[in-house]
Amino acid sequence: MQESSTQVKYKYVVMLNDSFCDGCRQCLPSCTFGAMIWVRSDETLLIDSWACTGCGTCVTACPGHALKLRPRSY
Ligand code: SF4
Ligand code: SF4
């Protein structure tokens, strides 16, 4: 069956391990897809999994190893 244009075509998505994240924000400039959102009000990082392409650039940018790719289950 052919995939519709609305179906996700990326195989991986990045996941944040909150317990490893110290809020340094070094990962933010590495994402050119708008998938990383810094929430000022509570100083936390959010990942927009629908915008994430699974490119992995942020994974290498994070000094605290708080970001990992995993296969998409959706
Ligand atoms: S670079 Fe890593 S530790 Fe720093 S804010 Fe991003 S996820 Fe958190
Ligand atoms: S894996 Fe790529 S697209 Fe996804 S949040 Fe990281 S830098 Fe952005």
Report yes or no on 5 lying in a domain: no
Is residue 6 over pLDDT 80? no
Which is nearest to 18 in space by CA: 43, 40, 49? 43
Tell me the pLDDT tens digit for each residue of 40-68.
999 999 999 999 999 999 999 999 999 99
- Per DSSP, the three-state class of 68 is strand
Q: Is residue 2 in some structural domain?
A: no
Name the β-bridge partners of 68: 15
Q: Is residue 3 part of a domain?
A: no
Ligand nearest to the CA of 67: 1
Which residue from 24, 40, 69 has its CB within 8 A of the most atoms of ligand 1, so it is best to mutate?
A: 24
1 part of a folded domain: no
Report the CATH number at residue 53. Answer: 3.30.70.20
At 42, list the tokens: 């509570």
Q: Is the CB of 53 under 6 A from ligand 2?
A: yes
Structural domain harbouring 61: 10-71
Structural domain total, the chain: 1
pTM of the model: 0.88
